[in-house]
Structure 1
């Protein structure tokens, strides 16, 4: 079902949706308070948003001013975002994992006048840079202020009190501001985390986001009966559009996960019907399932693989529209013995997952489909608000990112780069006309930086990022992403980065799944003091050699991994090796492990 009510701006969306559900017993949001999910009604949400919006006006902030948000996902993020988007203030969301120096660059580049912070940790970053950001005046903290608060700080509670006083004197201010906002007005400036260089501010209008919401909800069914579990950062365009705005526009209930680490528990508590995610979650889930099966009794193992085989046959037969009675009976038994128990781990009500942010391995999609869990993959970029293509529930193909959504044009350039055009394409990069001219050509085509092609059925296939494709010293073009996707399907491999730019062959940096190798060591009777010692044991090295040989069998000769190193700690956002959507910053990793990489090649005579 499309959106509940028509709208042309995010401000109007908030107004019409909250009015429509104002007396509904159904909550707009569920969020954790003292370990328990608490509902927030549309009536309460509307009141809090209006008070916050009026509070910002009381501080002298007006339409066109830029205000930051440095926060994890929490209910206050939603309230302050809607307060800004309904009054024409341009919000500048910042990942809470960024350093003070990175925030300083973004705030100076955008000319941020005020910022919201979630807690004392985020406040301490702003305190370090406050004097260096000349445009910055007020800072509003979601929690209590603390004893030694700087004079420019006020709490969200205090802001709402200012808003209450302002509203008494200006009762029609907020609703008049909502009506003033036009589709062409700037909604937000999102700074791309970028795997290289300084971040660029992507300028998105109300029209950009609204067009994407309306198009995406035409092809991905969401209804007021749906419950969403949201865990990806709202600072990222994928969750902002899909898990936040689109879910709200369709009248669904959005439950906020406490963090990435609590998803397993939150799934059971919330029992969502729809969830947006990145492939990393499915990789972890897959590895956990397989590990549980492999370490279990022989009979359980036999039943699981029998059920998986039945599931795959059932899916194929269903697609042809001809499921024989014996297969239906086998599938019902497989569901009772295996699939239903696995689906219970997702809360038992999930209709489908939407995957974005990175490539989903074809094999993963097929695996979960056989279990009765459908994952539909889409593709887009911050610069395109973000969705360009998506697989439909009734028209999908794993290993592809689907077909263009309504209103979006896609074409492939001569060099294989994917170009996009439509109402969702950004205005440009803030204060950066050179980068804008480089990204959007004179005919309005946005150059995505991704390489891909349309298959014979019109589905878009992404090969890799243009800048990630490297050329071996033998002149072969190699896309590392598909090779890395194969590597992480191993139960023993958690993360992998393939190396090979200008080299005669490929090597890999591998982060083991430490839980899995610990279990393997115990089964094999391998004695060790700690994980560092375990990684240096010959038995473990041989285990990974075997895993890599399995992957090499599926690759062309020039794509074979000839050497590898096991790393002692995973790539993290905190160490600057991952973007907030868990994509590896390839250049950072290559620089950090430069000596290790050189040794891998030296060992083989390079």
Structure 2
């Protein structure tokens, strides 16, 4: 079978190969869709969308939770010769209006719960003519199931006419430094970038992945949706991302992508569980994890354990580590990845100690997703690995990471000047990240060019590294923001993780809403002890002199966090100006 050159061709080949295998499902098999059913539904939906006038060159917006309907609709739009793109469900109406205007989409496919935002966006300038609901008809919107087919639509000829350099999707950046930019990605961009999966080993119908991150994020589309079309791996959708850790035992994924917050919460949950077992079992588990950490460090450094440590590890694996992996549903992972933001080193080492092969990767929407990643045979802690196939990586004079290859975006939609600023005439993508190579050629990301702290004494520091140190040493912590630019010393705003705080409250006999608990002296003392532990891992100039525990929770897509959990530093600085000044 020839290698497909478009995702339409890939889908048709995959569906024909094993039509009776399950392609899409939900937890507990409440919904299962075979490849045959998937193929038939794509034809039906595409024919109905063609009846609304959707055709080659058009764009269609999707505003859906993680569900089988997302995959059905996205793939159907592709088979119309059009371009589907997803928007974050947390987007306010003014952002949606901007995106709809920028994308020129006349059709939105959504769930009823998002209709108020969409309708408000239309009144603010979004050029939308048709709203299609996947979960029933309501006033002003048509039900997906009742679309009138286009009588003259040639389904086969239309999808076969899609070309490799046609637009596959538009991914809107999180907008940490201004309005979201629409990154235009082609079929070739993804298919070239997917070569990294093939390098890591065979992937096919027996593989399983979980789709729980927003599909408006390039990484989730790459890891679940597009690999489903290209390789046939089974996708289980989880509509509520907070339920992903409980879904793992149902899915037992062979491929799993986690953002750092997922891994931090997994470690917090395991640590909390250990506190509930007998002292003997707790001591045994901690011994085994310690042995696992020694193995992880040795593997990271490229050295072989001595015979005594190999024996200890075999015992730890048999008595403890394999059981932990099975308990959390990550016992069958063969390709694991962490991305979107730096993972705390201690958390990464902990996961590797358990025997979960999590490779930290680096990339950005503008290079489709992955630029570098560690391979399973040498996961080097503290680095983001080696270049993926087909991508060149270089450093600019100021240490900026530069990427070049066939997976680099076509450009920003309707922003030729911004495109020229980002991708130079030689094809190098200027990432805005500062990096360095170690002696083995592994890339380390030092920081964002525009996020480096320069204190009053002129010392350059990475706020991300400091924030990760606090997060790794503070089980109660949610997102943390470090302040210190042009200041005499560093301070921090610390939010608390609701689940961790609830466990702490129960253990210490505390009660009350989140905001009250955040100000409890016992909580403050616990956080203070953890921050001091974090300070011991930092240089003196990096250490946190004082901090403020915030009573609120920062949710993804809020004023303080992007939908992908990146800090919105400028809005944070403005919102908490008085609290910040009080710390100085």
TM-score normalized by structure 1? 0.91
Corresponding position: 1:495 with 2:479: yes
Residue of 406, 418, 421 corresponding to 1:423: 406
Question: Do the aligned partners of 1:380 and 1:387 also contact (CA within 8 Å) in 2?
Answer: yes
Which residue is 2:164 aligned to?
183
Take 1:471 and 1:317, find their aligned partners in 2: how far apart are those partners?
A: 35
Counterparts of 1:465-476 in structure 2 under 5 Å? 465-476=448-459
Give the Cα separation in 1 of the matches to 2:259 and 2:430. 23
What is the number of equivalent residue pairs in this alignment? 580
Map 1:155-304 onto structure 2 (within 5 A): 155-159=143-147, 162-163=148-149, 166=151, 169-170=152-153, 173-219=154-200, 221-304=202-285
* Alignment correspondent of 1:604: none
Q: Distance in 1 between matches of 2:187 and 2:350?
A: 38
Is residue 519 of structure 2 the alignment partner of residue 536 of structure 1?
yes
- Report deviation, 1:410: 0.9
* Unmatched 5+ stretches in structure 1: 602-606
Asked if 1:509 corresponds to 2:493, the answer is: yes
Secondary structure of 1:485's partner? helix
Paired with 1:242 and 1:5, the residues of 2 have a C-alpha distance of 22
2:79 maps to 1:86: yes
Structure-2 change in CA distance of 1:68 and 1:535 (3 Å): closer
1:53 maps to 2:46 = yes
CA distance in structure 1 between the aligned counterparts of 2:304 and 2:2, rounded to whole angstroms: 36
- How far the C-alpha of 1:496 sits from its partner, in A, is 1.1
Q: Matched residue of 2:478: which SS?
A: strand
**SS of 1:387 mapped into structure 2:** coil
Are the counterparts in 2 of residues 90 and 186 from structure 1 also a CA contact under 8 Å?
yes
Bigger Cα displacement from structure 2, 39-48 vs 256-265: 256-265
Q: Does 1:566 align with 2:538?
A: no
Task: Name the structure 2 match of 1:14.
Answer: 11
Partner of 1:142: 134
- SS at the partner of 1:28? strand
CA deviations over 1:524-574 (Å, ceiling 9, x no partner): 67x676554444344443332222221111111211111100011221125
Q: How far apart, in 1, do the equivalents of 2:321 and 2:252 lie?
A: 16
Q: Of residues 15, 21, 24 in structure 2, which corresponds to 1:26?
A: 21
Measured after TM superposition, the shift of residue 286 of structure 1 is: 0.8
User: Could you report, residue by residue, the CA deviation over 1:298-327 in whole angstroms, capped at 9, with x for unpaired residues?
Assistant: 323221221112223444667645562x54
Q: Contact 2:490–2:543 at 8 Å: present in 1 too?
A: yes
Look up the match of 2:444.
Answer: 461
Q: Return closer, same or farther for 1:334/1:74 CA change in 2, 3 Å cut-off.
A: same
| 8 A Cα contact 1:357 1:581, kept in partner | yes
Contact 1:5 1:16 in 2 (8 A): no
Corresponding position: 1:545 with 2:540: no
Hey, what does 1:122 align to over in structure 2? 114
Tell me the SS of whatever aligns to 1:488: helix
Please give the alpha-carbon distance, in whole angstroms, between the structure 1 residues aligned to 2:184 and 2:526: 49
Q: Give secondary structure in 2 for the equivalent of 1:507.
A: strand
Say which SS state the counterpart of residue 8 (structure 2) adopts. helix
- For the 8 Å contact 1:471–1:477, the answer to whether it is kept is yes
Contact 1:88/1:187 (8 A) holds in 2: no
Q: Deviations over 1:454-507 (max 9, x none)?
A: 111011111122121121121111110111111111223222111112111100
- Residue aligning to 1:343: 325
Per-residue deviation at 1:248? Answer: 3.3
**Structure 1 residue 363, shift from structure 2 partner:** 1.8
Bigger mean CA deviation after superposition, 293-302 or 516-525: 516-525
Residue 600 of structure 1: CA displacement?
0.7
Give the Å deviation of 1:12: 1.3
Deviations 1:279-303 (CA, angstroms, capped at 9, x unpaired): 1111001112122224543323221
d(CA) in 1 for partners of 2:487, 2:284: 46
Please give the root-mean-square deviation of Cα atoms over the aligned residues, in Å.
2.2
Equivalent in the alignment of 1:384: 367
Whether contact under 8 Å (1:139, 1:154) holds in the other structure is yes
- Pair 1:154-2:142 in alignment: yes
| Inter-CA distance 598–63: structure 2 relative to 1 (3 Å threshold) | same
Shift in Å, 1:224? 2.6
Report SS of the residue matched to 1:51.
helix
**Structure 1 pair 366–5 and aligned structure 2 pair: CA distance change class (3 A):** farther
237-246 or 540-549, larger mean C-alpha shift: 540-549
In the alignment, the residues of structure 1 paired with residue 260 and residue 179 of structure 2 have an alpha-carbon distance, to the nearest angstrom, of 26
The answer as to whether partners of 1:222 and 1:247 remain within 8 angstroms in 2 is: no
Distance in 2 separating the partners of 1:383 and 1:88: 22
Please state how far the C-alpha of 1:277 moved relative to its aligned partner. Answer: 1.3
Q: Distance in 1 between matches of 2:142 and 2:507?
A: 57
In the aligned structure 1, how far is the partner of 2:202 from the partner of 2:465?
A: 29
* Aligned 8 A contact 2:402 2:431 in 1: yes
Instruction: Give unmatched runs, 5+ long, in structure 2.
Output: none
Measured in 1, the distance between the counterparts of 2:24 and 2:494 equals: 40
Tell me the SS of whatever aligns to 1:209.
Answer: helix
